[in-house]
Amino acid sequence: MKKVGICGHYGNKQNLLNGQTIKTKVLTDELINILGSKEVDTVDTYRWKHSPFSLFLKCLCLIKNCENILILPAHKGVKVFVPLFLMLNKIFHKKLHYIVIGGWLPGLLADDPKLKHKVGKLDGVYVETLSMIDNLNILGLDNIRLLTNFKRLDILDKSEFIYPVKQPYKLCTFSVCYI
């Protein structure tokens, strides 16, 4: 049995640069770096509406063969994949984790009490900001965790730096916030 199964938008091997695809790929790459490729399985939700039965079978295999399931759906997908995996989990009893992409979830759940109830049944919901945690806690959810955006960056050697000749210096900063 594999440690992690990830159901997300990989873009069918296309070089898509949207937030959903990038976050899904970056998260998968990091889990493979930590656990090894033999411990991570994936299901691509790209164009899932064109073959829903095939996707259902892939999701069934994923939850059957993995200890932890991570889902990374977008706006419309959350209404499909959260209920789907909760239904399948009645049989398989695995850990279900929802990795949120973007900041829209609190508004969606405030307008959809049934979906909010279903999201509350997940083992973990991982959001990008502290304000999202606060907003989801206000809605009564207590399974919310912080998972800030991340990206593996190659650190430049000093010889690769290009210093500006005059002021003002153009500067871009990357930082980490530990709580």
CATH number, domain of 75, equals 3.40.50.2000
Phi, psi of 27 (to 5 degrees): -60, -45
Q: Taking residues 4-20, what's their average pLDDT?
A: 78
Whether 58 is covered by a domain: the verdict is yes
Q: Is the peptide bond before 168 cis (omega within 30 degrees of 0)?
A: yes
Whether 175 is covered by a domain: the verdict is no
What residue type is assigned to position 97 of the chain?
H
pLDDT for residue 160 is more than 80: no
Q: Taking residues 65-70, what's their average pLDDT?
A: 98
In 76-150, the DSSP E strands lie at 95-99, 124-127, 144-146
Whether 56 is covered by a domain: the verdict is yes
Nearest to 179 by CA among 147, 153, 134: 147
Structurally, the chain folds into a number of domains equal to 1
pLDDT for residue 178 is more than 60: no
**Model's pTM, two decimal places?**
0.83
- Taken in order 78, 79, 83, 85, the sign of the CA dihedral is negative
Whether 42 is covered by a domain: the verdict is yes
Whether 160 is covered by a domain: the verdict is no
CA angle 169, 173, 175 (to 5 degrees): 155
Whether 92 is covered by a domain: the verdict is yes
Whether 161 is covered by a domain: the verdict is no
- Name the percent of the chain lying above pLDDT 70: 87
Axis-axis angle for helices 75-92, 113-120 (nearest 10): 50
Whether 120 is covered by a domain: the verdict is yes
Residue 84 domain boundaries:
2-151
Nearest to 4 by CA among 49, 21, 81, 33: 33
Phi, psi of 5 (to 5 degrees): -120, 130
Give residue 17's pLDDT: 59
